[in-house]
A and B are shown apart, each in its own frame.
Chain A
Amino acid sequence: MKKQTYILDSDIGWLLLAVLSVVWVLLGIYWSRKAKNLDGFMLAGRNVGLALGAATAMATWITSNTTMLAPQFALELGIWGMVAYSTASFGLLLFAPLAKRIRKVMPKGYTSGDFIRLRYGRKAWYLFLAISIFYGFTWLISMGMAGGILMNAIAGIPYKIGMSVILLVCVIYTLFGGLYAVIGTDFIQSVIILIGVVVIGFGVLNAIEFDTVYTNLKNDKPMLVNVMLPAAIMAVFNNLLFGIGEIFHSNVWWSRAFAMRDGIGEKAYNLAGLFWLPVPIAAGFIALASGTLDINVTSPDMVGPLVAANILGEIGAVVVFGVLFCSLASSIDSLLAATSDLITEDIYKKMINPGADEKVLRKMSTRIIIGIGVLAWIVCLPRVGTLATVLFFAGPMVGSTIWPIMTGLFWKKANTTGAIWGMILGSVIGLVAYVQLGWYTASLIGAAVSMVTVLIFTHLNPDDFHWGTLNEAK
């Protein structure tokens, strides 16, 4: 076991955990009054405005990965690592025009799975569902694990208890309020996260000088300030394409595109991308300061919280605890809601019980949220791997979905064979790269192989798709 001294008094940690848990559950109960029908529960009544839309996109994308993995990137890959992580904002920015297109061609759609089924048919749909559910579950597990790791590292709360509490709280408030609760809490969480990041950022800038950090890095960790660090050079575009793949395919982002009012999606995703861009840079910089502050890092994903607490003392540790709890909750709730929608709509309604009415679907959605929560809890119990190794395993698979999704939305000529083989070859060859070269190449190679495959099949056998097919409501 990697023993590390705690940065927050255990009693304060337990108190914070209790207060934050109660607040989010109460908010879930409050928003449950709005989630009266299925559209309300799954898509917040398709009436989300710009402020809430931008806040929910930004808060969901600021996961514990941003606050824990971005510093880890900086500590492993240096300056390029910071840049690499911030490129994930391109996923949000490039999804903005897609969100507009999605609302236009599928005004009554529910999930990203709906799109693949209607655009490419059932075989591509099965494959896509397998990738999407695997990815969603991987992300959820990495968040659950992060919750346990964090609370243990910060306040000495046992891993299993911290992990169980954060999963339980998110399951409860998502159960009550559906996407209304998810988006509402995301708004509050995004405000807390931004304030926290600003406080920590100013604290770090006040405590140490850029020159000192640079000199320390140059002497002790020279490759971190070397722009010719090979792994980091590869990681820049790998992370960029991983982020684009995550957002383009995941129902977390599609459900928000469906939930936002007409004309809002594009602006909201653009705003979210711009607000998100500096967060990993700030988070990454504080990691690079760890050497200057003489902080021993036992696990690279803990460097951000360690530095913040070291500089700001107990107040810093409280801020870190709050920010990280919010960034975890804002992602776990979104994943629970979006994955449950995908299973309810795409598997239960479309494959098992096509005649199910709203009441049955709502009941099924509730059971699925609980089921996903329990399954995630079981997988999270044994603490395995670092966050990066868990999450990036799904990298080649999500990278392989970029071209099928994007060309499917804009090109009439994009066809089923190209989409299926793009996803299969991209995933398989990307996984080989993951094993042979390293995680920092897998999404890049997965996306590149998928692109070539889609282009070849589109050229060889162009389709002539009718966009009206995507609007099932007609």
Chain B
Amino acid sequence: MVNIPFAFSQASFTLPNENTSNSGHITLTWEGHGDAAYTLQKSDNSNFEKAEIIYQGPDRASFISGLKNGDYFFRVKTENAPWSGPLLVKVEHHSLQLAFSLAGVGLFVFLSIVYVIILGTRNSAKT
């Protein structure tokens, strides 16, 4: 059995390998050891070409938001250790048709509430 030195322990995500989001945000969490410094990368491909470092430091989580529709790949590592396996986040926002339909319903309910209160207040003032 080979003991991996503490500083070389590999970090790994505590989420499934594939995740979906219909609101464009997700909290990434990972496991590691002690006060190690982590590097978190994001890319639009699983080969991490043109990858972007989005966090470096001791935290073991990072909240990501404001993502457009698409596939996003993340990986994390500690110093001198190999990268974790890639984590995929598939972002598919709700349809705008659904959003505007529900917002329309909400607006109608709200205006109806205002109407009932204004009318009710006026009528109760008369009696």
Contact = CB atoms under 8 A, between A and B. Distances in A.
A382 B123 CA distance: 51
B15 interface: no
A30 interface: no
Contacts of A97: 117, 120-121
Nearest to B52: A220
A441 interface: yes
Contact of B106 (A100, A224, A229, A241): A241
Which one of A76, A237, A300 has the greatest number of beta carbons of chain B within 10 Å?
A237
Contacts of B57: 5, 296
A438 interface: yes
A104 B103 contact: no
B25 A451 contact: no
A236 interface: yes
Contacts, number: 156
B27 to A, nearest CB: 7
Nearest to B101: A234
A244 B124 CA distance: 21
Given A97-B117, A222-B68, A229-B24, A410 B124 contact: yes
Interface string A70-86: 00000111100000000
A76 B65 contact: yes
Main secondary structure of the interface of A (DSSP, over half): helix
A233 B120 contact: no
B74 to A, nearest CB: 14
B17 interface: no
B60 A2 contact: yes
Contacts of A406: 113, 116-117, 120
Contacts of B110: 90, 237, 240-241, 244
B58 A298 contact: no
Contacts of B124: 101, 104, 410
A104 B59 CA distance: 56
Nearest to B106: A237
A3 interface: yes
Given A222-B66, A223-B67, A101 B25 contact: no
A353 interface: no
Interface string B110-127: 101110110111011000
Contacts of B7: none
Interface string A272-314: 0000000000000000000000001111100100000000000
A168 to B, nearest CB: 30
Given A298-B62, A438-B23, A237 B103 contact: yes
Interface in B26-71: 27, 29, 55, 57-63, 65-68
Interface residues of B, number: 43
Contacts of B29: 2
A4 interface: yes
Contacts of B123: 410
B109 A447 contact: yes
Interface in A210-239: 217, 220-225, 228-231, 233-234, 236-238
B4 interface: no
B22 interface: yes
B62 to A, nearest CB: 6
A297 B102 contact: no
A4 B120 CA distance: 52
Given A94-B117, A406-B113, A410-B117, A299 B27 contact: yes
Contacts of A411: 116, 120
A15 interface: no
B23 A298 contact: no
Contacts of B119: 410
Interface string B64-92: 01111000000000000000000000000
Interface of B: 22-25, 27, 29, 55, 57-63, 65-68, 93-96, 98-100, 102-103, 105-110, 112-114, 116-117, 119-121, 123-124
Interface of A: 1-5, 75-78, 90, 94, 97-98, 100-101, 104, 217, 220-225, 228-231, 233-234, 236-238, 240-241, 244, 296-300, 303, 402-403, 406-407, 409-411, 437-438, 440-441, 444-445, 447-448, 451
29 contacts: A2-B29, A2-B59, A4-B61, A76-B23, A98-B117, A100-B121, A220-B66, A221-B66, A222-B68, A223-B24, A223-B66, A228-B96, A230-B94, A231-B23, A234-B106, A236-B103, A236-B106, A296-B55, A298-B62, A299-B61, A406-B117, A409-B120, A410-B119, A410-B121, A410-B124, A437-B94, A448-B106, A448-B109, A451-B112
Question: 10 smallest A-B Cβ distances: which pairs?
Answer: A237-B106, A221-B66, A410-B120, A2-B61, A230-B99, A231-B23, A298-B61, A224-B66, A230-B94, A233-B99
Given A2-B61, A222-B68, A411-B116, 6 more contacts: A3-B58, A223-B67, A297-B62, A410-B116, A438-B94, A445-B102
